[in-house]
Structure 1
Amino acid sequence: MLNAEQRRRAYLSAMQVVSWLPRVDLPFAAPSRPELLLPAEPPVEEAPSSPAALVAETPVVSAPPMPKGERPSIEQARSALVSSPAPSASPAPQPEAVDAPPPVVERQAPPRFALQLLRAGQCLLLVELPTGEPFQSRDPAYLLLKDLLRAAGLPDSPQLIGEPVRWPLMTRGSLDQGPQAALEYVQGFVSARFEEQPCACLWLVGLPAVRFAGDADAEAFNRELRVDGLGSAWALPGLELLMEEPERKAELWRAMRRIMRRWNIVNE
């Protein structure tokens, strides 16, 4: 029977029951402790001290009695003020400084384009490749480019310079390939070719060439631009756009007559 009592106490200990009283007498149970049968005393709540009680508890330092007819001196009044304790105000808790989270910089999606750099006489041409592939001799876009060069008085068989510039450079990886990175890369590429052999004017043919070499937009078409490190540049609509909207060619011819003096003076 001792095992049954030990098992009962093990159950109570597992349920975290410290003291308990059975409703009926348990057979073979250990006798109850008398102190557990006494009624619990109600907790005594302390009354909050009133301001009057706090004032009554504060010790009052009385100044020594002065003889009749005499006024207290300044030193005595000062000593009385110093001797009386002044209530000290507890400093207000200062809020803890919380470090602001660093700003999240969102990366822009990389642009997609393909550009080919060519040389025709005294001009460099940065031309958008409509299909993303190098020009073929019978491509309509390449035939239109040859017409533009003949109208400008330049050789109609431009020389390819290097491989096409395709963006983005990598399909994977953590390298930033957003618009700003593309601008810096294209300008650096053209500037390096410009230093090898300077030119009289840089043609920017197509919106990607205008945007990522001239740092301009479509409103700059048929206008002359000044690009740091690249000198004078001429912004032209893309070859595919000229084929889809032939009415743009008239404005292009007028702009060409105004600007062609740059490479004609060098040829003379």
Structure 2
Amino acid sequence: MTEPESEGMVAQESLRHTYLQAIGVQSWLPRGALPHAAPSAPWVETFTWPPTQRFEQWEDAFEDTSEVPAAEQPVLPVTPSVNAPRGVSRALESLQGMFAPEGTPSQKVLESTPPALSETTPSASALDMSYQPEPVAPLQNPLAERYPEPQFSLVLMTLGELLIVDSLPPQGRQSFSPAHIRFVSALARSLGVQGYDINPIHHHWPAFVGSALNQGPDEALRSVRRLLGNMLKSQEIKRVLLLGEASAQWILEQPEPLDSLRGLRFSLRAGVAAVSSHSVTALLRIPELKAELWADLQPLLATRT
């Protein structure tokens, strides 16, 4: 670093210390080499504070007048030497105006004084301070006791008026394979829905890795509610098919096992019927379950439009 650059760094650091001193903050710089620390810049060795050598020509600006009562301290314009750095001079002038005693004719103080409130401006006492935010009701989550640390993987697919939510094994976050897509396409045709592209939307829980984040059952249920609400709002969904235990429990918010929920007709909202059955993974591995699936689909076939 050249000598002019070093002098510029010293002046900049002096300006910073001037502001810090004005607000009561004491700053420190290393005076020697620290173990395992990066080496300091060369200008650090020549920097001193308060400036007693490099800025002797305007050191009177830093004289301590704390022993003189505030009322007796004269407020005089600071006129540092022409050799003082320009940034430090501006800092001293601004600080003089900021911290001048009340009643002084300092132009800086007059400029920083806020204008008086007009007669039409309502006072703080006249404002309506009676509003209080409504308390948030605790979440009613029947799944919290059964799943204190929930883990599940859902796949959501919209095909016209039909919404299919499948459950994947959460271990390893298995992907939705082409075999799964072919089975869902055939299942939709059996329900009278065809001609739609299948675009699976995955929803894994926990959503993130890390113990610092709250990923308990309440947050899991809120995430499912939010996702389902957005899909029902943006689509003309009339029928919902829930495949697998995780899908049935977290969509219907029921802690019962899948065998207790299969084949029953539920209403997610007005005009939206839902039934549950086995997951696509189970149906692909155990073809004998297809007969039970067909029996479970009957309430949705009865509501076909």
What TM-score, normalized to structure 1?
A: 0.51
Say which of 203, 213, 223 aligns to 2:241. 203
Q: Distance in 2 between matches of 1:230 and 1:196?
A: 15
Task: Note closer, same or farther for the CA distance 1:229–1:179 as it changes in structure 2 (3 Å cut).
Answer: farther
Task: Note closer, same or farther for the CA distance 1:168–1:254 as it changes in structure 2 (3 Å cut).
Answer: same
Count of residues paired in the alignment:
156
Q: How does 1:7-156 map to 2 (within 5 A)?
A: 109-130=148-169, 132-137=173-178, 139=179, 141-155=180-194
Say which of 243, 246, 254 aligns to 2:287. 246
How far off its partner does 1:109 sit? Answer: 4.5
Task: Note closer, same or farther for the CA distance 1:158–1:114 as it changes in structure 2 (3 Å cut).
Answer: farther
Q: How does 1:174-213 map to 2 (within 5 A)?
A: 174-213=212-251
Q: Is the 8 A contact 1:109 1:177 kept in 2?
A: no
Q: Is the 8 A contact 2:276 2:296 kept in 1?
A: no
Q: Is the 8 A contact 1:191 1:229 kept in 2?
A: no
Say which of 160, 181, 186 aligns to 2:199. 160
Q: Secondary structure at the match of 2:297?
A: helix
Q: Is the 8 A contact 2:161 2:235 kept in 1?
A: no
Letter in 1 for 2:209: T
Say which of 234, 237, 242 aligns to 2:275. 234
Q: Distance in 2 between matches of 1:156 and 1:215?
A: 31
4+ residue runs over 6 A deviation = none
RMSD: 2.8
Say which of 240, 255, 261 aligns to 2:296. 255
Q: Distance in 1 between matches of 2:287 and 2:190?
A: 16
Q: Secondary structure at the match of 2:209?
A: coil
Task: Note closer, same or farther for the CA distance 1:108–1:200 as it changes in structure 2 (3 Å cut).
Answer: closer
Q: Distance in 1 between matches of 2:147 and 2:276?
A: 25
Q: Which has the higher contact order (CA 8 A, sep 6+)?
A: 1
How far off its partner does 1:118 sit? Answer: 0.9
Q: Distance in 2 between matches of 1:135 and 1:108?
A: 24
Letter in 2 for 1:220: L
Moved more, 252-261 or 223-232: 223-232
Structure 2 partner of 1:222: 263
Q: Is the 8 A contact 2:242 2:274 kept in 1?
A: yes
How far off its partner does 1:129 sit? Answer: 3.1
Asked which structure has the greater CA Rg, the reply is 1
Moved more, 123-132 or 186-195: 123-132
How far off its partner does 1:156 sit? Answer: 6.4
1:156-191 CA distance string (max 9 Å, x none):
654326x41111012114333223321221122111
Identical-pair percentage: 22
Structure 2 partner of 1:36: none
How far off its partner does 1:114 sit? Answer: 1.6
Q: Distance in 2 between matches of 1:192 and 1:127?
A: 17
Task: Note closer, same or farther for the CA distance 1:122–1:107 as it changes in structure 2 (3 Å cut).
Answer: closer
What TM-score, normalized to structure 2?
A: 0.45
1:170 counterpart = 2:208:
yes
Task: Note closer, same or farther for the CA distance 1:228–1:154 as it changes in structure 2 (3 Å cut).
Answer: closer
1:192-240 CA distance string (max 9 Å, x none):
1111123111121111111111112311022222235894211121112
1:220-267 CA distance string (max 9 Å, x none):
0222222358942111211122233333221221232342132x31xx
Letter in 2 for 1:194: L
Task: Note closer, same or farther for the CA distance 1:136–1:230 as it changes in structure 2 (3 Å cut).
Answer: farther
Task: Note closer, same or farther for the CA distance 1:241–1:186 as it changes in structure 2 (3 Å cut).
Answer: same
